[in-house]
Structure 1
Amino acid sequence: MAAGGFGDAGAYDFRFLPQKTFPSLSAPETTSRLRQWSMLGRIRAQAFSFDQTFQAYRKDEFLLAFFKDPNVISNLKLLSDSPGQWITLGTEVKKIDATNVPCTQLSMSFFNRLYDEDIVRDNGNIVKCLDSFYDPFLISDELRKVLLEEDSEKYEIFSQPDREEFLFCLFKHLCLGGALCQYEDVLTPYLETTKLIYKDLVSVRKIPQTKKIQITSSVFKVTAYDSVGVCYPSTKSHTQTFSYFIVDPIRRHVHVLYHCYGVGDMS
């Protein structure tokens, strides 16, 4: 392929889309929940467009081009290590790690097994258990036990492929929350918020022949490195610090969902 052609990392042009809003994150009910879960002010979604055909098998090339684009460098937000201010990237990304995140689930019935297995009672109350620690999380109910403790008896109700699904990842992140998370006693707020954010980020289409709904987005969990080391989503690693890139190849949009673990806005 000729130099500077499609194989070049600079072949994609990206544009920040400030007018694209994510109501799921700004709705009053969601912000009130995110405040309780210590995630408010530390989670955000942004949208960018791109100008070339997206091919999932060339994701690394695509994402490296994304991080090197001037429109991205000046607009992609992340939290500084201290004092937790939103800043832009401001460093040259040398390489990226992108993990494919399966995104096939179309229904919240995926979580019905939590009721079937008595993790959650029929009235929606989450079943309590004796306190234990799974660093840095306090486990005081059966839901967190199923999410975190691999040797717990009901861990297997979600298989490894289930746990890799974007819908599950989103749900788990919301359940675990930030540094001063106040856990819910009932399941509904977690399910409702997961569904709203998922629908906001993921694109679907109806296949005309079958009338079936199909997810068209590709999802990647992304880490970026500069010459020093990890620079995005944060220089400090934590299971609750993440950045998911949700790529819509038809509309040619990238949605970036970002969260950095810490103490969320309390006011």
Structure 2
Amino acid sequence: METAKFTFVPLKDKKTVLEQPKIANKLLQWSMKGDLRLKYYNFNQEFHPYQKQDFVEAFFKDPAVISTLEIHRSGWSPIGVPASKVEYEPLAATLTSMAFFDRILDPANNLTRSSGEIRQCYEDKCEGFFIDDNILAMILIEEHDLYNLYSISDRNEFLFNIFKHIYLGGEWCQRDFNIQPYLQTTKDIYKELMSVERVEGSSDIRVRSVVFKVIAYQEDGKPLCPTAPFHVQNFIYLIVDPFKRQVSVLMNHYGGCLE
């Protein structure tokens, strides 16, 4: 059977959730404005989950993508060259409710108080981040008692990853003391990116979007994008809606990361 040849068209005029004033203001406070980016592309062929490798390779070789998708190399500029290799990691996208974060809101778990105030902790450092609250410890420190509040499979959910990235913030992040701005921003971004559909014969809904994290490489084997993928805040996610034939690209460059 002949492999489908995917081609892509950028949606240059499509507004993104990151441009909404309340979110843009929070991203500025968290030192992510301009570094967290979202772009959309339509594609021409029917997409099936077994085609992920073909899809990501076609995406990072497509002339319309490499001329419009910007990456950070001492400033933002188009990729410019096709990738020689692309690796992808599938993420789970099963959640349709923010109840996933009830564990954070439960004061018994020692992450927040009943008011939503974030509980502080003894100072520590992990992966280049200064840890001074229990949520940071839960996210980053595997040896911490709170780390197991979310299992490995929980942490593979795209919703958890959005929250993680938002909470970690950028190089000069000015943190909130209450959890609600983080949860609301996570919800707004997730809702924008994910497409849902009704389960046939039921009133239930399910996510139809397919999500994967990608790293594209140059001919010399060095990362093309993101340029420094070893850092947790340097990432590219592709979110594919097979029905709309649209792919959303959520990407970030951490300002303090050496390339």
Give the Å deviation of 1:209. 1.3
Give per-residue Cα distances to partners, 1:16-35, cap 9 Å, x unaligned.
1112221x201111111111
Partner of 1:87: 77
Letter aligned with residue 130 of structure 1: Y
Give per-residue Cα distances to partners, 1:215-249, cap 9 Å, x unaligned.
00000000000112110121463110000000000
1:112 aligned counterpart, secondary structure: helix
- For these two proteins, the number of residue pairs brought into alignment is 254
Note the 1:146-185 alignment, pairs <5 A: 146-185=138-177
Letter aligned with residue 158 of structure 1: Y
Runs of 4+ in 1 over 2 A off after TM superposition: none
With structure 1 as the length reference, what TM-score do the two structures score?
Answer: 0.91
> Is 1:16 aligned to 2:6, yes or no?
no
Partner of 1:128: 120
The 1:236/1:154 distance shift into structure 2, 3 A limit, reads closer
Matched residues in 2 for 1:202 and 1:212: separation? Answer: 16
The answer to which of 160-169 and 150-159 deviates more is: 150-159
Give per-residue Cα distances to partners, 1:137-191, cap 9 Å, x unaligned.
0110111111111111121110110011000000000000111111211000100
Partner of 1:114: 104
Given that residues 195 and 241 in structure 2 are in contact (C-alpha distance below 8 angstroms), is that contact kept between their aligned partners in structure 1? yes
Matched residues in 1 for 2:7 and 2:21: separation? Answer: 35
Note the 1:247-258 alignment, pairs <5 A: 247-258=240-251
Aligned partner (choices 29, 43, 49) of residue 36 of structure 2: 43
Matched residues in 2 for 1:225 and 1:19: separation? Answer: 29
The 1:227/1:198 distance shift into structure 2, 3 A limit, reads same
Q: Determine what percentage of the aligned residue pairs are the same residue.
A: 40
Partner of 1:52: 45
2:161 aligned counterpart, secondary structure: helix
The 1:140/1:235 distance shift into structure 2, 3 A limit, reads closer
Partner of 2:54: 61
Letter aligned with residue 18 of structure 1: K
Runs of 5+ in structure 2 lacking a partner? none
Letter aligned with residue 192 of structure 1: Q
Runs of 5+ in structure 1 lacking a partner? none
With structure 2 as the length reference, what TM-score do the two structures score?
Answer: 0.94
2:162 aligned counterpart, secondary structure: helix
Aligned Cα root-mean-square deviation (Å): 1.5
Give the Å deviation of 1:192. 0.4
Aligned partner (choices 3, 9, 19) of residue 7 of structure 1: 3
Given that residues 236 and 250 in structure 2 are in contact (C-alpha distance below 8 angstroms), is that contact kept between their aligned partners in structure 1? yes
Matched residues in 2 for 1:211 and 1:203: separation? Answer: 16
Letter aligned with residue 256 of structure 1: V
